[in-house]
Protein backbone atom coordinates (compact mmCIF):
# COMPACT_ATOMS: atom_id res chain seq x y z
CA UNK A 1 0.00 0.00 0.00
CA UNK A 2 1.19 3.52 -0.82
CA UNK A 3 0.39 6.68 1.13
CA UNK A 4 0.29 10.07 -0.57
CA UNK A 5 0.79 13.34 1.30
CA UNK A 6 0.31 16.89 0.12
CA UNK A 7 1.21 20.27 1.59
CA UNK A 8 0.73 20.34 5.35
CA UNK A 9 -0.12 24.05 5.59
CA UNK A 10 -2.44 26.33 3.66
CA UNK A 11 -4.11 23.41 1.88
CA UNK A 12 -7.71 23.85 3.03
CA UNK A 13 -9.64 25.68 0.30
CA UNK A 14 -13.14 24.88 1.61
CA UNK A 15 -14.34 25.53 5.18
CA UNK A 16 -17.49 25.91 7.25
CA UNK A 17 -16.96 28.08 10.30
CA UNK A 18 -19.37 28.62 13.18
CA UNK A 19 -20.32 32.18 14.13
CA UNK A 20 -21.18 32.80 17.77
CA UNK A 21 -20.45 35.33 20.51
CA UNK A 22 -21.85 38.85 20.79
CA UNK A 23 -22.50 41.67 18.35
CA UNK A 24 -19.58 43.66 19.71
CA UNK A 25 -17.24 40.67 19.89
CA UNK A 26 -18.25 37.94 17.40
CA UNK A 27 -16.26 34.72 17.16
CA UNK A 28 -15.65 32.87 13.92
CA UNK A 29 -14.13 29.42 14.19
CA UNK A 30 -14.81 25.85 15.31
CA UNK A 31 -16.82 24.35 18.15
CA UNK A 32 -14.87 23.18 21.14
CA UNK A 33 -15.21 19.38 21.28
CA UNK A 34 -18.62 18.35 22.64
CA UNK A 35 -19.94 21.90 22.97
CA UNK A 36 -21.40 24.82 21.03
CA UNK A 37 -18.66 27.10 22.34
CA UNK A 38 -16.74 28.56 19.42
CA UNK A 39 -12.97 28.75 19.48
CA UNK A 40 -11.96 31.80 17.46
CA UNK A 41 -9.31 30.92 14.83
CA UNK A 42 -8.43 34.17 13.03
CA UNK A 43 -5.18 32.87 11.50
CA UNK A 44 -5.50 29.11 11.09
CA UNK A 45 -2.29 27.81 9.43
CA UNK A 46 -4.01 24.97 7.56
CA UNK A 47 -6.46 27.34 5.85
CA UNK A 48 -5.67 28.97 2.55
CA UNK A 49 -4.69 32.57 3.45
CA UNK A 50 -7.77 33.90 1.65
CA UNK A 51 -10.04 31.88 3.97
CA UNK A 52 -8.50 33.61 6.98
CA UNK A 53 -8.77 36.95 5.20
CA UNK A 54 -12.50 36.41 4.57
CA UNK A 55 -13.15 35.27 8.16
CA UNK A 56 -11.41 38.33 9.61
CA UNK A 57 -13.32 40.75 7.38
CA UNK A 58 -16.63 38.97 8.02
CA UNK A 59 -16.08 39.24 11.77
CA UNK A 60 -15.36 42.97 11.50
CA UNK A 61 -18.39 43.43 9.25
CA UNK A 62 -20.62 41.72 11.83
CA UNK A 63 -19.29 43.97 14.54
CA UNK A 64 -19.56 47.17 12.50
CA UNK A 65 -23.14 46.48 11.33
CA UNK A 66 -24.18 45.15 14.77
CA UNK A 67 -25.65 41.98 13.28
CA UNK A 68 -25.95 39.54 16.20
CA UNK A 69 -24.41 36.06 15.99
CA UNK A 70 -26.67 33.09 16.62
CA UNK A 71 -27.25 31.66 20.11
CA UNK A 72 -27.96 27.91 20.27
CA UNK A 73 -29.40 28.09 23.77
CA UNK A 74 -31.91 30.84 22.99
CA UNK A 75 -32.31 30.13 19.26
CA UNK A 76 -31.97 33.86 18.72
CA UNK A 77 -29.49 35.94 16.77
CA UNK A 78 -28.89 36.09 13.06
CA UNK A 79 -25.66 34.69 11.57
CA UNK A 80 -24.97 31.01 12.30
CA UNK A 81 -22.18 29.93 9.97
CA UNK A 82 -19.82 31.08 7.28
CA UNK A 83 -18.92 28.85 4.34
CA UNK A 84 -15.88 29.87 2.29
CA UNK A 85 -14.60 28.20 -0.89
CA UNK A 86 -11.48 29.45 -2.67
CA UNK A 87 -11.40 29.26 -6.46
CA UNK A 88 -7.82 28.29 -7.27
CA UNK A 89 -7.55 29.84 -10.72
CA UNK A 90 -8.77 33.31 -9.74
CA UNK A 91 -7.76 33.30 -6.05
CA UNK A 92 -11.17 34.61 -5.12
CA UNK A 93 -13.64 33.37 -2.49
CA UNK A 94 -17.19 32.13 -2.76
CA UNK A 95 -18.81 33.17 0.54
CA UNK A 96 -22.03 31.83 2.04
CA UNK A 97 -23.60 33.51 5.07
CA UNK A 98 -25.89 31.04 6.86
CA UNK A 99 -28.54 33.01 8.73
CA UNK A 100 -31.50 32.53 11.04
CA UNK A 101 -33.67 34.71 8.80
CA UNK A 102 -36.58 34.08 6.39
CA UNK A 103 -34.91 36.05 3.59
CA UNK A 104 -31.65 37.88 2.83
CA UNK A 105 -33.31 41.30 3.00
CA UNK A 106 -32.37 42.27 6.56
CA UNK A 107 -28.77 41.28 5.95
CA UNK A 108 -28.20 43.58 2.98
CA UNK A 109 -26.20 46.13 5.06
CA UNK A 110 -23.89 43.30 6.15
CA UNK A 111 -23.55 42.02 2.59
CA UNK A 112 -22.71 45.51 1.34
CA UNK A 113 -19.88 45.81 3.87
CA UNK A 114 -18.51 42.35 3.04
CA UNK A 115 -18.54 43.13 -0.69
CA UNK A 116 -16.84 46.49 -0.17
CA UNK A 117 -14.10 45.13 2.07
CA UNK A 118 -13.29 41.98 0.14
CA UNK A 119 -13.29 43.82 -3.18
CA UNK A 120 -11.54 41.88 -5.94
CA UNK A 121 -11.02 38.96 -3.54
CA UNK A 122 -14.76 38.16 -3.59
CA UNK A 123 -15.90 35.63 -6.15
CA UNK A 124 -19.56 35.49 -5.12
CA UNK A 125 -21.80 35.99 -2.09
CA UNK A 126 -24.77 33.85 -1.07
CA UNK A 127 -27.40 33.87 1.66
CA UNK A 128 -28.54 30.55 3.09
CA UNK A 129 -31.56 30.42 5.39
CA UNK A 130 -31.45 27.96 8.28
CA UNK A 131 -34.07 28.59 10.98
CA UNK A 132 -34.25 25.04 12.29
CA UNK A 133 -32.98 23.84 15.65
CA UNK A 134 -30.26 21.20 15.54
CA UNK A 135 -26.76 20.75 14.22
CA UNK A 136 -27.41 20.93 10.47
CA UNK A 137 -25.23 23.69 9.08
CA UNK A 138 -27.04 24.53 5.85
CA UNK A 139 -30.74 25.18 5.43
CA UNK A 140 -33.00 24.63 2.44
CA UNK A 141 -33.35 28.26 1.28
CA UNK A 142 -30.81 29.98 -0.95
CA UNK A 143 -30.28 33.31 -2.67
CA UNK A 144 -27.34 34.61 -4.70
CA UNK A 145 -26.49 38.14 -3.59
CA UNK A 146 -23.82 38.70 -6.22
CA UNK A 147 -21.38 36.88 -8.46
CA UNK A 148 -21.32 33.65 -10.51
CA UNK A 149 -23.45 30.66 -9.46
CA UNK A 150 -20.51 28.29 -9.08
CA UNK A 151 -16.79 28.02 -8.42
CA UNK A 152 -14.85 26.41 -11.28
CA UNK A 153 -11.87 24.14 -10.62
CA UNK A 154 -9.69 22.16 -12.98
CA UNK A 155 -9.76 18.44 -12.20
CA UNK A 156 -8.72 15.55 -14.44
CA UNK A 157 -7.99 17.89 -17.34
CA UNK A 158 -11.48 19.46 -17.47
CA UNK A 159 -13.46 22.14 -15.66
CA UNK A 160 -15.62 21.06 -12.72
CA UNK A 161 -18.41 23.35 -11.46
CA UNK A 162 -19.26 23.68 -7.76
CA UNK A 163 -22.44 25.49 -6.72
CA UNK A 164 -22.37 26.43 -3.00
CA UNK A 165 -24.71 23.52 -2.24
CA UNK A 166 -22.37 20.91 -3.76
CA UNK A 167 -19.72 18.80 -2.04
CA UNK A 168 -16.10 19.44 -2.93
CA UNK A 169 -12.78 18.28 -1.56
CA UNK A 170 -11.12 20.71 0.86
CA UNK A 171 -7.65 19.75 -0.38
CA UNK A 172 -7.95 20.26 -4.15
CA UNK A 173 -4.26 19.86 -4.97
CA UNK A 174 -4.14 16.37 -3.47
CA UNK A 175 -7.61 15.57 -4.81
CA UNK A 176 -6.33 16.30 -8.31
CA UNK A 177 -3.59 13.68 -7.84
CA UNK A 178 -6.15 11.21 -6.48
CA UNK A 179 -8.32 11.70 -9.57
CA UNK A 180 -5.28 11.07 -11.78
CA UNK A 181 -4.71 7.77 -9.92
CA UNK A 182 -8.30 6.69 -10.58
CA UNK A 183 -7.98 7.63 -14.24
CA UNK A 184 -4.84 5.47 -14.54
CA UNK A 185 -6.96 2.46 -13.56
CA UNK A 186 -9.57 3.08 -16.28
CA UNK A 187 -8.64 1.66 -19.72
CA UNK A 188 -9.53 3.61 -22.88
CA UNK A 189 -12.79 3.04 -24.74
CA UNK A 190 -14.47 1.62 -21.63
CA UNK A 191 -18.08 1.84 -20.55
CA UNK A 192 -17.87 3.53 -17.15
CA UNK A 193 -20.55 3.76 -14.47
CA UNK A 194 -19.80 6.23 -11.69
CA UNK A 195 -21.91 6.14 -8.53
CA UNK A 196 -22.05 9.04 -6.04
CA UNK A 197 -20.54 11.14 -8.84
CA UNK A 198 -21.06 14.54 -7.19
CA UNK A 199 -20.24 17.34 -9.61
CA UNK A 200 -18.20 14.97 -11.78
CA UNK A 201 -14.74 15.63 -10.36
CA UNK A 202 -13.68 12.07 -11.25
CA UNK A 203 -15.85 11.13 -14.20
CA UNK A 204 -15.90 14.27 -16.35
CA UNK A 205 -12.24 13.82 -17.24
CA UNK A 206 -12.95 10.29 -18.50
CA UNK A 207 -15.61 11.27 -21.03
CA UNK A 208 -13.23 12.15 -23.87
CA UNK A 209 -11.52 8.73 -23.84
CA UNK A 210 -14.42 6.47 -22.89
CA UNK A 211 -17.09 4.86 -25.02
CA UNK A 212 -19.72 5.95 -22.49
CA UNK A 213 -19.79 7.41 -18.97
CA UNK A 214 -22.87 7.08 -16.75
CA UNK A 215 -23.15 9.41 -13.78
CA UNK A 216 -25.29 8.63 -10.74
CA UNK A 217 -25.91 11.35 -8.13
CA UNK A 218 -28.89 12.29 -5.97
CA UNK A 219 -27.91 15.74 -4.58
CA UNK A 220 -29.68 18.53 -6.46
CA UNK A 221 -26.80 20.97 -6.02
CA UNK A 222 -24.22 18.50 -7.28
CA UNK A 223 -26.39 17.60 -10.28
CA UNK A 224 -26.57 21.29 -11.25
CA UNK A 225 -22.78 21.42 -11.27
CA UNK A 226 -22.49 18.07 -13.06
CA UNK A 227 -24.80 19.10 -15.87
CA UNK A 228 -22.88 22.36 -16.33
CA UNK A 229 -19.65 20.36 -16.48
CA UNK A 230 -21.11 18.10 -19.16
CA UNK A 231 -22.32 21.12 -21.10
CA UNK A 232 -18.84 22.65 -20.98
CA UNK A 233 -17.33 19.54 -22.59
CA UNK A 234 -19.16 20.30 -25.83
CA UNK A 235 -18.71 18.06 -28.85
CA UNK A 236 -20.48 14.71 -28.62
CA UNK A 237 -20.24 14.47 -24.82
CA UNK A 238 -24.02 14.55 -24.44
CA UNK A 239 -24.37 11.54 -26.75
CA UNK A 240 -21.86 9.47 -24.77
CA UNK A 241 -23.04 10.32 -21.25
CA UNK A 242 -26.07 9.66 -19.08
CA UNK A 243 -27.14 11.12 -15.73
CA UNK A 244 -29.29 9.32 -13.17
CA UNK A 245 -30.61 11.65 -10.45
CA UNK A 246 -31.40 8.90 -7.97
CA UNK A 247 -30.12 6.85 -5.09
CA UNK A 248 -27.27 4.54 -6.09
CA UNK A 249 -29.40 1.48 -5.40
CA UNK A 250 -31.94 2.67 -7.97
CA UNK A 251 -29.34 2.71 -10.75
CA UNK A 252 -27.87 -0.80 -10.42
CA UNK A 253 -29.08 -1.69 -13.92
CA UNK A 254 -26.08 0.31 -15.19
CA UNK A 255 -23.80 -2.48 -13.98
CA UNK A 256 -25.10 -4.85 -16.64
CA UNK A 257 -22.56 -4.02 -19.37
CA UNK A 258 -20.17 -1.64 -17.57
CA UNK A 259 -16.45 -2.39 -17.91
CA UNK A 260 -15.47 -0.12 -15.01
CA UNK A 261 -17.49 0.95 -11.99
CA UNK A 262 -16.38 3.84 -9.79
CA UNK A 263 -17.93 4.65 -6.42
CA UNK A 264 -17.16 7.50 -4.00
CA UNK A 265 -19.89 7.09 -1.36
CA UNK A 266 -20.49 9.10 1.83
CA UNK A 267 -19.23 7.84 5.18
CA UNK A 268 -21.96 5.22 5.49
CA UNK A 269 -20.46 3.32 2.56
CA UNK A 270 -22.09 1.60 -0.40
CA UNK A 271 -25.85 1.39 -0.79
CA UNK A 272 -26.75 -2.19 0.19
CA UNK A 273 -28.47 -2.78 -3.16
CA UNK A 274 -25.43 -1.57 -5.09
CA UNK A 275 -23.10 -3.76 -3.03
CA UNK A 276 -25.28 -6.80 -3.60
CA UNK A 277 -25.45 -6.12 -7.33
CA UNK A 278 -21.65 -5.72 -7.54
CA UNK A 279 -21.20 -9.08 -5.83
CA UNK A 280 -23.70 -10.73 -8.16
CA UNK A 281 -22.47 -9.36 -11.48
CA UNK A 282 -19.01 -7.94 -10.95
CA UNK A 283 -17.52 -5.59 -13.55
CA UNK A 284 -13.99 -6.17 -14.82
CA UNK A 285 -12.81 -3.29 -12.61
CA UNK A 286 -14.29 -1.64 -9.54
CA UNK A 287 -12.60 1.52 -8.21
CA UNK A 288 -13.66 2.39 -4.67
CA UNK A 289 -12.92 5.83 -3.16
CA UNK A 290 -13.74 5.87 0.55
CA UNK A 291 -13.68 8.50 3.30
CA UNK A 292 -14.44 5.98 6.07
CA UNK A 293 -12.05 3.08 6.62
CA UNK A 294 -14.57 1.09 8.70
CA UNK A 295 -17.28 1.02 6.03
CA UNK A 296 -14.65 0.51 3.32
CA UNK A 297 -13.37 -2.63 5.05
CA UNK A 298 -16.88 -3.97 5.57
CA UNK A 299 -17.83 -3.38 1.92
CA UNK A 300 -14.63 -4.87 0.48
CA UNK A 301 -14.88 -7.89 2.76
CA UNK A 302 -18.46 -8.51 1.62
CA UNK A 303 -17.50 -8.20 -2.05
CA UNK A 304 -14.49 -10.49 -1.64
CA UNK A 305 -16.53 -13.01 0.35
CA UNK A 306 -18.94 -13.23 -2.55
CA UNK A 307 -16.06 -14.53 -4.61
CA UNK A 308 -16.57 -12.26 -7.62
CA UNK A 309 -14.11 -9.44 -6.85
CA UNK A 310 -10.63 -9.37 -5.37
CA UNK A 311 -8.46 -6.50 -4.15
CA UNK A 312 -5.56 -5.70 -6.49
CA UNK A 313 -4.29 -2.25 -5.40
CA UNK A 314 -4.72 0.07 -2.44
CA UNK A 315 -3.57 3.63 -1.75
CA UNK A 316 -4.16 5.99 1.17
CA UNK A 317 -4.36 9.74 0.69
CA UNK A 318 -3.65 12.05 3.66
CA UNK A 319 -6.22 14.65 2.65
CA UNK A 320 -6.26 16.25 6.11
CA UNK A 321 -2.76 16.60 7.60
CA UNK A 322 -2.52 16.62 11.42
CA UNK A 323 -5.52 14.27 11.63
CA UNK A 324 -5.98 10.50 11.59
CA UNK A 325 -8.23 10.70 8.54
CA UNK A 326 -7.19 9.27 5.19
CA UNK A 327 -9.01 8.85 1.91
CA UNK A 328 -8.70 5.22 0.79
CA UNK A 329 -8.66 4.38 -2.92
CA UNK A 330 -8.77 0.76 -4.05
CA UNK A 331 -8.84 -1.18 -7.30
CA UNK A 332 -10.78 -4.46 -7.27
CA UNK A 333 -10.79 -6.79 -10.28
CA UNK A 334 -13.18 -9.54 -11.26
CA UNK A 335 -11.70 -12.78 -9.99
CA UNK A 336 -9.61 -14.39 -12.67
CA UNK A 337 -9.16 -11.17 -14.70
CA UNK A 338 -5.63 -10.48 -15.98
CB 170 within 8 A of CB 12: yes
* Mean model confidence pLDDT for the chain: 94
> What radius of gyration do the chain's Cα atoms show?
21
Query: Which of residues 3 and 110 earns the better pLDDT score?
Result: 110
> How far does CA 104 lie from the centroid of its chain?
25
CA distance linking residue 38 with residue 17, whole number of Å = 9
**Could you read off the pLDDT of 123-154 as tens digits, one per residue?**
999 999 999 988 899 999 999 999 999 999 99
Give this prediction's pTM: 0.95
CA geometry: angle 244, 250, 255, nearest 5 deg:
80
Domains of the chain with bracketed CATH: 2-148 (2.40.50.1070), 153-334 (3.40.50.150)
CA distance linking residue 10 with residue 171, whole number of Å = 9
**Could you read off the pLDDT of 105-118 as tens digits, one per residue?**
999 999 999 999 99
Query: Which of residues 99 and 37 earns the better pLDDT score?
Result: 99
Residue 1 — pLDDT band, cuts 50, 70, 90?
low
CA distance linking residue 154 with residue 172, whole number of Å = 9
Alpha-carbon distance values, 183 to 19, 179, 205, 256, 329 (Å): 39, 6, 8, 21, 12
CA distance linking residue 311 with residue 1, whole number of Å = 11
Residue 218 — pLDDT band, cuts 50, 70, 90?
very high
CA distance linking residue 204 with residue 233, whole number of Å = 8
Amino acid sequence: MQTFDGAALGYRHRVRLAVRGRSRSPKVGLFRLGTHQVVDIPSCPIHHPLVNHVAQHAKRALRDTQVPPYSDARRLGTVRYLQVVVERATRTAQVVVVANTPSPDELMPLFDVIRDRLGDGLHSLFWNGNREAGNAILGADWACVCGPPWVVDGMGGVDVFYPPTAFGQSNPALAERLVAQVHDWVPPDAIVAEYYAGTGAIGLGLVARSREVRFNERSDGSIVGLRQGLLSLGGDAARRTQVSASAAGDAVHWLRDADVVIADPPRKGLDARLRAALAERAPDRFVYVSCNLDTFLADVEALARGGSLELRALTAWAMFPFTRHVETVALLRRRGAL
